[in-house]
Structure 1
């Protein structure tokens, strides 16, 4: 192999993450020594808009100095909602928080999906981000799904396709490449691929009717890239062990040949246990993914695995297990993506950060976000009480790890044994503050399974749940409270997936409200509905 040219080509087929708010020595090595052509930013890399702009400029300058022919694709997980690596949070003041998939679908209007995604894309593009791993094309067929849930637009394939296309169009309009995920569909599983290997037992006909519908629509509409997922579908791969992301039958035969997808195929992060625990681990998984037909392999966290993936790929080429002519043909798709979404070196370098323009953009976007959230809150059953001027009790659940894509981000507070610390979650503290702005006397209680219900519940109770269909202890507490607080009006607020609100176990409460996510913005919108300031017009995109 012509080491210099081939290594430059191979580097274009990876997207790696790194640690820190500035260009680290690790990422500098990846760009200069390994010629890596794509970088993913995580929440850990984001402090504020200006810092991200400076960081991206430094990354691009590093790539240009290293002789890269085209600028880097700079990607990020910005689905909006609960998975928003670019949005403002407790530790960073960055992008505008917009509703996630299920919340935006609850508005019933795909134009909100398109407009919010375009607005988010304009913010990302202004700081140099040009690739968003969104929209989620998964149909949430299984209510017990531990990793998709509210990240999906719902359980109706047709509506999921409609909203996913709207997000893809909005991102493209804003100059950011969309990446529909997790092909061929992660919605009908109750195992999280971060933790294990999901197996979906469906026939090809069943897949065509559900999982593949949104992706077919996105492909027909010309989506720029698609992310493959780490789930086993034996009807496609022919075996019960190979994840879709590493399967040539899925990546090449189905996606490339049958569905005629012409864009870039990128894998989900190979550091998930579903790939990491396979023989050969992440480095061998990278070779398998490229051999399967992936254009770009994603490894987000560990420098040793970045090096290992690159070195194993070099060896695979030398041994003839990977062919440079196939990689170069694949590289043409990556180049086309870069030409469309990065432009030239002059387009990406030397652009000063315009703080005044960004402030104006974010002021406009904040209004759009508030409008979309106001349209998303749903009254699932009952009628809302008119709370008196007496004490209102707000009850929120202790924090549990229910979704590795959301809960297990770096930086979450944990005990020595690895459990999430038993403290009031910041988003629920913000909800209590939202209630306090509307009521003079508010008590915020954090409840666990052993909550003592023998107490005063005031003149009204707002009982917040989070996926109580899976954490049924929350509904046990609610039933005990209903006995103790007889005559007190109770509003149940489902702050994530709304499945528990369709249960007979909530019968008898005054009203059931769904916010579809527990971002501060969604909970503020829910408070305005609960206190009858705004009429609930949202409708649940899922049912039982």
Structure 2
């Protein structure tokens, strides 16, 4: 009898665990009541149900002709959503209110706001890029960022953020992911992605993990071509797929499928995984148990548009198992081709209805069953708050990484014995130099990365009278895709400075920029600040003098440092 009781108890525990796994893996928007979604579906014609699958692109910095084009797509074709690109917060909010006022079924408004709405909009604060965030140990800060990004999105009427990027960046030459990745450690990328996702979804903004099944080890941009990933399946399981599994098990609402050719998953010539039933229906939905919205990457991108015409590519994306068609090049043509596919029984109306219903369920979860227009008076005043700025400073401070510190040079001590010069190389380092002067008398110099040998010699002569030089290398902070490599001439200059005095080097650039240095052992201290923002410059200067600590860990491997150094 006792054995029977134990077996029953073990069975109950087993069933409970299975239930917990299933509950965790269900997409967040499938846990609520769906009565509104069910009722709306009944009001839509078959063509309108097809149209709900489209998210088209919109801008708030273009003129009346563009506005009319979007109006036509909403009024005549009944598209399901808009993805806003460039513009401004107030202008976008105004257009959102207008577009919502003319639609039969409320629009799902989407954005790429990977580091906040400032990724696409002016007049907003840009949080650090994910590569910078990858240096942070405290995932609670990433959760807080997710909360703040959700607040910004809701403020301007946005319901889904195409973030986080959970590609594991293992290729320093990756031209399109790189700074957009949390790093090269799959487990940490997953933890950071889950924290960011929860911060948003706990505040009713749907997250979207991208770019499935992993765009981190490519040296080509799928906007311009079809990159090939030649890894075996076991490698994908151990690296690329790890973060996606974590997010699926924590209720991610949507996943964006990349335009990549991965022969081990589907070796069909020139076929992106975004158009492969083996990958979308097979790997993502069946094998990995994903129940949320499967969203294509932009169908305008060369990774698919070079091989399939508008309309045909949309049909192939649906046949692969996708729920949402992003950035279609020709909506009327796409609807026409999908109707033909239904008539040929390539896809059934029942399948279309199921995907439409899933989208409507997501809209209900987003609050579109109880829609109210954006309060335009609040947008300009609240897009940046004191709390926004404070969080930005916390994120930057927590990312600062002290990679090298011979003889505990930092923080600087016995300032009365030091004759300090600072040398700013490359882009502007004015905020860094200004903050240095707040701590100790400092003589400042600036020099171009392209400085000639004679110009460098003049500077070296001037630096000879100082016993400590703080040299800072500044790369562009304009966007995450700007070149980060440090010029060979800069390396020569820094090595020359190190031969004649103690030198602290602060690098305001991507961690892979360290690969540009032939040697680093000559530097007495090396601080990695990741980005050339005003906050990063000011906080790095404070850290050098001990005003704040440095707890960051480098999120990728360089030629000189292992990950997590």
> Unaligned 5+ residue runs, structure 1?
397-427
Q: CA deviation at 1:516?
A: 2.9
Counterpart-to-counterpart distance in 1, 2:452 and 2:208: 43
1:358 equivalent in alignment to 2:394: no
Q: CA deviation at 1:353?
A: 3.6
Structure 1 residue corresponding to 2:447, chosen from 430, 441, 445:
445
Q: CA deviation at 1:287?
A: 2.2
Shift of the 120–279 alpha-carbon distance from structure 1 to 2, 3 Å rule, reads closer
Residue in 2 that maps onto 1:420: none
Structure 2 residue corresponding to 1:29, chosen from 72, 79, 82:
72
Listed one character per residue, the Cα deviations across residues 213-272 of structure 1 (whole Å, up to 9, x for unaligned) are 111111111100001111111111133521111111111111111111110011111222
Counterpart-to-counterpart distance in 2, 1:524 and 1:315: 60
Shift of the 355–263 alpha-carbon distance from structure 1 to 2, 3 Å rule, reads closer
Listed one character per residue, the Cα deviations across residues 148-183 of structure 1 (whole Å, up to 9, x for unaligned) are 222212211111111111111001012210000110
Report SS of the residue matched to 1:150. helix
Report SS of the residue matched to 2:487. helix
Listed one character per residue, the Cα deviations across residues 278-336 of structure 1 (whole Å, up to 9, x for unaligned) are 242x5432222112111111118xxx645554454444445544432211111121111
Report SS of the residue matched to 2:265. helix
Q: CA deviation at 1:486?
A: 3.8
Counterpart-to-counterpart distance in 1, 2:350 and 2:494: 67
Listed one character per residue, the Cα deviations across residues 171-210 of structure 1 (whole Å, up to 9, x for unaligned) are 1012210000110111122222122222111222221111
1:225 equivalent in alignment to 2:264: no
Counterpart-to-counterpart distance in 2, 1:224 and 1:180: 8
TM-score (norm. length: structure 1): 0.82
1:292 equivalent in alignment to 2:320: yes
1:61 equivalent in alignment to 2:105: no
1:235 equivalent in alignment to 2:278: no
1:126 equivalent in alignment to 2:155: yes
Residue in 1 that maps onto 2:356: 331
Residue in 1 that maps onto 2:396: 373
Q: How does 1:156-171 map to 2 (within 5 A)?
A: 156-171=185-200
TM-score (norm. length: structure 2): 0.79
Residue in 1 that maps onto 2:122: 92
8 Å CA contact 1:393, 1:445 repeated in 2: yes
Shift of the 495–291 alpha-carbon distance from structure 1 to 2, 3 Å rule, reads farther
1:479 equivalent in alignment to 2:492: yes
Counterpart-to-counterpart distance in 1, 2:447 and 2:75: 53
8 Å CA contact 1:230, 1:244 repeated in 2: yes
Residue in 2 that maps onto 1:348: 372
Report SS of the residue matched to 2:58. coil
Q: CA deviation at 1:525?
A: 3.0
Counterpart-to-counterpart distance in 2, 1:340 and 1:147: 32
Shift of the 214–163 alpha-carbon distance from structure 1 to 2, 3 Å rule, reads same
Counterpart-to-counterpart distance in 1, 2:402 and 2:523: 13
Report SS of the residue matched to 1:171. helix
The more displaced of 243-252 and 533-542 is 533-542
Q: How does 1:105-254 map to 2 (within 5 A)?
A: 105-254=134-283
8 Å CA contact 1:385, 1:510 repeated in 2: no
8 Å CA contact 2:484, 2:510 repeated in 1: no
Shift of the 102–481 alpha-carbon distance from structure 1 to 2, 3 Å rule, reads closer
8 Å CA contact 2:470, 2:506 repeated in 1: no
Counterpart-to-counterpart distance in 1, 2:214 and 2:523: 36
Report SS of the residue matched to 2:556. coil
8 Å CA contact 1:463, 1:492 repeated in 2: yes
Counterpart-to-counterpart distance in 2, 1:289 and 1:186: 19
Q: How many pairs were matched up?
A: 489
Q: CA deviation at 1:444?
A: 3.4
Counterpart-to-counterpart distance in 1, 2:493 and 2:374: 63
CA RMSD in angstroms comes to 3.0
Q: CA deviation at 1:10?
A: 1.6
Residue in 2 that maps onto 1:422: none
8 Å CA contact 1:462, 1:492 repeated in 2: yes
Q: CA deviation at 1:76?
A: 0.8
Report SS of the residue matched to 1:60. helix
